[in-house]
């Protein structure tokens, strides 16, 4: 994987340039539903799909769209993709749409997607924009998997609870990873998301400082 440039790109973005950790962008829709692995991963995957929809389209249209209207065009393309995704989730998995609440439609205004559109897709050929979108999607999914797993394990004492939000019909209540009654309720509250996020950021910066030298900006 590491010998191909694309694999290295993915790892590079996921770790060194992780969009969430390094730039603190897109926090609101992502952190808000990261109290469970199922919802955390769901929003991360929906984020990835939005990236894969917006970035190539914007790269394709960059020769056609005049500079003066590029921002509204980017916003409309992102909003269109998110609206379609939202309608699809509401139709096929209504409980998941209810669990994600407003944080799914709010992806349309996710600054991370709009910033990548303007910074990257608008300035690159399509193939390169797709690679960038995939790399960012991988970074966000990895980050959300880790954060939501820690939050769910501490806050609820389980992993993969409410799986039936994604796979209807499984009456499965998840792995019990902590003894019943042992839990840290704050981890599943919004404040816990920010506290743990800070902790993850600190650990990442510590490791990065050891490896790359102290020049990590946050």
Partner 1 sequence: MTALTARAAPWVLATVVLTAAALVVATDHGLQPIREKVRADAVRAMLSEVPMPPYDNDPATATSAVMRHEGASYIERIYRARRGGEPVGAWLVVRAPGYSGEMRLLIGVRGNGMVTAVRLLSQRETPGYGDRIAGSEAAWLGGFEGRALDNPLRRLWSVSSEGGAFDAVSGATITSRGVVHAVRDALAWYAGSEVAAPQPPVAAPAP
> Looking at beta carbons only, is 5 or 185 nearer to partner 1?
185
Q: Is 63 in the site for partner 1 (CB under 8 A)?
A: yes
Q: Is 66 in the site for partner 1 (CB under 8 A)?
A: yes
> Do the Cβ atoms of 64 and 100 come closer than 8 Å?
no
100 contact partners, CB below 8 Å, separation of at least 6? 33, 39, 42, 43, 46, 89
Q: Is 98 in the site for partner 1 (CB under 8 A)?
A: no
Q: How far is the CB of 32 from partner 1 (least distance, A)?
A: 21
> Looking at beta carbons only, is 61 or 178 nearer to partner 1?
61
Determine which residue in the list 90, 174, 184, 200 makes contact with partner 1, applying CB under 8 A.
90
Q: Is 67 in the site for partner 1 (CB under 8 A)?
A: yes
> Looking at beta carbons only, is 83 or 176 nearer to partner 1?
83
Determine which residue in the list 5, 7, 8, 94 makes contact with partner 1, applying CB under 8 A.
94
Q: How far is the CB of 118 from partner 1 (least distance, A)?
A: 16
Task: State the DSSP string of the chain.
Answer: -TTSHHHHHHHIIIIIT-HHHHH--SHHHHHHTTTSHHHHHHHHHHHHHHHHHHHHHHHHHTTTS-GGGHHHHHHHHHHHHHHHHHHHHHHH-HHHHHHHGGGTGGGGG-HHHHHHHHHTGGGS-HHHHHHHHHHHHHHHHHHHHHHHHHHHHHHTSEESTTGGGTSTT-----EE-S-TT---GGGGSHHHHHHHHHHHHHHHHHHHHHHH-S----
> Looking at beta carbons only, is 3 or 63 nearer to partner 1?
63
> Looking at beta carbons only, is 33 or 96 nearer to partner 1?
96
CA–CA separation, 43 vs 55, rounded Å?
A: 18
Q: Is 73 in the site for partner 1 (CB under 8 A)?
A: yes
Q: Is 218 in the site for partner 1 (CB under 8 A)?
A: no
Q: How far is the CB of 90 from partner 1 (least distance, A)?
A: 7
Q: Which stretch binds partner 1 (CB under 8 A): 80-88, 102-110, 149-157, 185-193?
A: 80-88
Q: How far is the CB of 12 from partner 1 (least distance, A)?
A: 31
Site residues, partner 1 (CB under 8 A):
61, 63-69, 72-73, 76-77, 79-80, 83-84, 87-88, 90-94
């Amino acid at each position: 994987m590491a010998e191909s440039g694309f694999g290295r790109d993915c790892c590079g973005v996921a770790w060194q340039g992780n969009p969430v950790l390094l730039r603190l962008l897109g926090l609101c829709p992502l952190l808000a539903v990261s109290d469970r692995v199922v919802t955390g991963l769901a929003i991360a995957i929906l984020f990835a799909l939005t990236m894969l929809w917006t970035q190539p389209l914007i790269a394709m249209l960059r020769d056609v769209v005049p500079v003066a209207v590029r921002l509204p065009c980017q916003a409309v393309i992102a909003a269109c993709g998110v609206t379609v995704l939202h309608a699809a989730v509401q139709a096929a998995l209504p409980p998941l749409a209810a669990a994600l609440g407003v944080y799914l439609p709010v992806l349309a205004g996710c600054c991370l997607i709009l910033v990548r559109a303007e910074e990257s897709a608008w300035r690159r050929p399509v193939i390169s924009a797709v690679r960038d979108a995939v790399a960012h999607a991988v970074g966000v999914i990895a980050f959300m998997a880790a954060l939501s797993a820690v939050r769910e394990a501490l806050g609820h004492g389980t992993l993969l609870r409410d799986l039936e939000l994604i796979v209807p019909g499984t009456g499965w209540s998840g792995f019990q990873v902590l003894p019943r009654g042992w839990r840290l309720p704050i981890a599943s509250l919004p404040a816990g998301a920010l506290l743990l996020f800070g902790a993850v950021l600190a650990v990442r910066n510590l490791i990065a400082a050891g490896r790359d030298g102290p020049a990590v900006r946050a």
